[in-house]
Structure 1
Amino acid sequence: MVGKPSDEAGDSSSISDEEWQAFLRDSELGASPAPKEPSARARMVTERLRHQGEPEGWRTGPTPRDMNGRTRRRQVWSALGVLLALGVVAVALRPSLLPGDPLGTGEPKAAAVSPLPAETAAPTAAPGAVPDQAPTIDRPFAGSPALAWADGEAGVVLPVAEAVGSAPKERVSKALELTRKLLVGANLESATLRGGRPAAALSVLDPKQPHLLDDLDAFLRSPDRTHDPLTLFSRFDPDETRVVGDVVKTRGRMTYKKSKHNGVTVHADYTFVYPVRPAEGPPEVTRTIVRRVIDVEIPDPAHYDVTPGRLLLVRYDEALFNSACDVYDGFLHPRFKSAEPTAPTQTGPTEDPYDRSKGIGEGSTSDSCGTASRI
């Protein structure tokens, strides 16, 4: 009878009793060779692995939880990659978006400018020098003293209304408000600047003032040297020039006094700075500057044949800077460096358009088209 083998180290066999009995039966029938006993080294390795255990998923791959977590991480990194790519594109298009100009684009930083208080009296001198910077679409007032001026209508500040002579406070207040409406409609309203009819400005003028409205209509309809609407209205040819942005810088003052017609006379002196660019072509930006001085009056309607609540236009003077000379088509024509000159060159004296310490034409004996010392 064949005996059951034993381990070399004296331990019991790793073959079970059932397997041994099956071997004996097969041996008698000659059906199978004896099972091979594992070596002691093989059993030691097997036993060591059994005690150490296999890591979770060592053969079957990561669990669904791990797969989901890894997928989420891939999605996060994909989103971050898209954002990073967009950021690179944005910086490539606008290097100024990077703080400190690390790419050395050389673009000057916008200087912090404190707004000027409202003008209540004539200044004693012209504004001081400002950094020499070229205007751009994003910064149309760079390099201009007007950067510290008020925006548009906010620069037309009314004085406190008080009764003057026989004109009550209410009439003075009405005269000031109508003067403001005239200035805004003639120099700031977008339709007027685009070359349209300055309807709001015309609406405050008295239709009973002889020839006034008829003359102004003729100026707008058929402008020429002696009938020039630019004497009262700021207008650009929309096929040639566009105003940049929505802001026109404004600075000036308004005063009033008793009129000789038992009413009130309002004196207004304002300068308007228009940033402009060509309607077509390169996006070059320049500025046209217009100074206007007007006197208007509301007489006493009890003694004069006037329309209540309307203005009589007594005087209007203007000074135009950076607009082509001897062109009388009813439009301002700014000069751009990129364009070939098509109009006569300025031959008059050089003046500072920002100098509000002098009156219009004061110190000048020439009627020729002057040159702006700065724009």
Structure 2
Amino acid sequence: MPIAEDPEPRPSEGREPGGSDPSEAGGKDPFADLVLDEDFIKSASVKEQSGRTRMLAARWRHTPPVDPGGRRSVNDGPEKAKRRFGRKPKLQVVDPWGNPRPPRRRRLEWRAPLFVVLTVAVLLASLNIDGLRTWYADHIGGNGSSAAPTPVPTVAPETAKPTTAAPKVDEKQPTVGHPWAGSPAEGWPNGAEAFVLPEAKATGVFSADQVAAQLQLVKDYLTAANLDPKVIAGGRPDAALAMLDRDERDRATAALANPSKDTDATSWFSRFDPREAIPVGDVVKVQGRISYEGDGDKGVLVHTDFSFVYPLRPGPEAGKRAGSPAPSAGAPQPTKPASPQGGGTAKPVGLVVPVDDVSGDTWTTRTVVRRVENFRFYDPGRYPANPKKLVIADGTTSDSANSACDVYDGYYHPQFDQFAPALPDSPDVRPTGPETDPYDRSKDLSAEPGGCGSVSRY
């Protein structure tokens, strides 16, 4: 089939050497010598994007990406920290991958002083093994066991006469660190806390306010005569004497000045000779009750019945009474020295160690004093008595446990286990009186003195 030819021949495209210039500029084609090699590609100013880049760009035009946060790069620079509470902001350091670096730990510069202190403490402890053993016995337990001792239940002040004796407790040797060990008085009230006054009511010629003042006067007297630390340590009971009526004060003053078997100051006041016995602390355990009634003559009669337990340690001359006479029933003593508890850590020291430098495991003792006292307030309209002073009425008596027998010098003289000799079997030395329990308050206190006896506990 014939092909129609162009009416005019095609112009030369200038590709052949020496061909014509289609631009009719009369010049050579600028792309004639162009070579598409590696250098041409590297020097290109515009580069074609990759397929993944074009795909992501098309997607992000409709759904922009969301920054999850938490990651940073080195191009972001350090994060600008916020200032809080006026403190200098801390800059967060990141690694080359943009992850935050943990802060460097400060040097533990406190370790060196701590090691020095511990070294010194260990050295001092090694130089004082006995003191360390004493501290361990006082704070943890002398028997090497961490088990706490059985606590003695707290006992409230009496409101009526008890029907039974105080319950038994574990027998333990009392020490300076534990002066109430082995005593039921450990749970008793401290000092004047036991003096609970009954409700005051009008009685006889006295109004309720006057009766309340009389009861308070009795309480103050009991405190001054039995709980004043200076009086207990052997001082003169001036405060208690000032509360007595003139005749009573004269009799008490005579007993202090010239004590004898019939007029002994211990029947009035609780005092110990400081050369033999020194109180351990200021706490005295007390149990008892106060009551009152009309005296039948328009006056008031106040009844008191209290037991006082005094913890004591040896004085500088405590060992001199090791061979003193046996105790009496009116002043009973322990039948035998108590066995030390806790593996023998308690030391029977007295004169071996200065009394002003005794340790917590020094053996101590206790003296139990029971006083039954009656105070009478006469009708001032019928009797020349001062209603603001105390008059001792009939039925007043006292008893003491753990005090030397047949010693009447105005002081109690307790026996310490570390100085108590073994009692021989001679009938002249053995106790002749019955054994008594000073903690049995269910029994009435006898006004008749008995022979030399012993106590079941103290």
TM-score normalized by structure 2?
0.60
Deviations 1:178-220 (A, max 9, x none): 111121111111121122211111111111x4xx322211110
Deviations 1:33-70 (A, max 9, x none): xxxxxxxxxxxxxxxxxxxxxxxxxxxxxxxxxxx958
Q: Does 2:131 correspond to 1:95?
A: no
In the alignment, residue 123 of structure 1 is paired with which amino acid? P
Deviations 1:102-133 (A, max 9, x none): x9536984332332122000000101111111
Q: Distance in 1 between matches of 2:224 and 2:143?
A: 45
Aligned to 1:196: 235
Aligned to 2:178: 139
More divergent stretch after superposition (276-285 vs 215-224)? 276-285
Aligned to 1:63: none
Runs of 4+ deviating beyond 3 Å:
68-77, 79-93, 96-99, 103-110, 340-346
In the alignment, residue 184 of structure 1 is paired with which amino acid? T
- Over 3 Å counting, the alpha-carbon distance change for 1:305 and 1:227 in structure 2 is same
Aligned residues: 302
1:293 aligned residue (372, 388, 404): 372
SS at match of 2:286: strand
SS at match of 2:256: helix
- Over 3 Å counting, the alpha-carbon distance change for 1:192 and 1:70 in structure 2 is closer
Percent identical pairs in the alignment equals 39
- Over 3 Å counting, the alpha-carbon distance change for 1:97 and 1:196 in structure 2 is closer
Conserved? CA contact 2:162–2:441, under 8 Å:
yes
Q: Distance in 2 between matches of 1:307 and 1:104?
A: 59
Equivalences for residues 294-313 of structure 1 within 5 A:
294-313=373-392
In the alignment, residue 249 of structure 2 is paired with which amino acid? L
TM-fit CA distance, 1:71:
6.8
Q: Distance in 2 between matches of 1:187 and 1:333?
A: 16
- Over 3 Å counting, the alpha-carbon distance change for 1:312 and 1:340 in structure 2 is same
- Over 3 Å counting, the alpha-carbon distance change for 1:367 and 1:72 in structure 2 is closer
1:319 aligned residue (389, 399, 410): 399
Q: Does 2:370 correspond to 1:370?
A: no
Q: Does 2:298 correspond to 1:262?
A: yes
- Over 3 Å counting, the alpha-carbon distance change for 1:254 and 1:335 in structure 2 is same
In the alignment, residue 348 of structure 1 is paired with which amino acid? G
Q: Distance in 1 between matches of 2:146 and 2:261?
A: 43
1:331 aligned residue (388, 411, 421): 411
Q: Distance in 1 between matches of 2:232 and 2:315?
A: 14
More divergent stretch after superposition (245-254 vs 346-355)? 346-355
Q: Does 2:189 correspond to 1:150?
A: yes
More divergent stretch after superposition (229-238 vs 303-312)? 303-312
TM-fit CA distance, 1:84:
5.2
TM-fit CA distance, 1:93:
4.6
Equivalences for residues 155-174 of structure 1 within 5 A:
155-174=194-213
Q: Mind listing any 5+ residue stretches in structure 2 that lack a counterpart?
A: 1-105, 317-349, 352-361
Equivalences for residues 22-171 of structure 1 within 5 A:
69=107, 73-83=111-121, 85=123, 91-96=132-137, 105=144, 109-171=148-210
TM-fit CA distance, 1:176:
0.8
TM-fit CA distance, 1:308:
3.3
Report the structure, 1 or 2, having the larger helix content: 1
- Over 3 Å counting, the alpha-carbon distance change for 1:248 and 1:346 in structure 2 is farther
**Root-mean-square deviation over aligned CA pairs:** 2.9
In the alignment, residue 164 of structure 2 is paired with which amino acid? A
TM-fit CA distance, 1:85:
4.8
TM-fit CA distance, 1:370:
3.0
Aligned to 2:79: none
* Structure with more relative contact order (C-alpha pairs < 8 Å, separation 6 or more): 2
Q: Does 2:222 correspond to 1:183?
A: yes
Greater C-alpha radius of gyration: 2
TM-score normalized by structure 1?
0.73
Deviations 1:154-189 (A, max 9, x none): 111111111123321112111211111121111111
Q: Mind listing any 5+ residue stretches in structure 1 that lack a counterpart?
A: 1-67
Q: Distance in 1 between matches of 2:401 and 2:110?
A: 64
- Over 3 Å counting, the alpha-carbon distance change for 1:95 and 1:293 in structure 2 is same
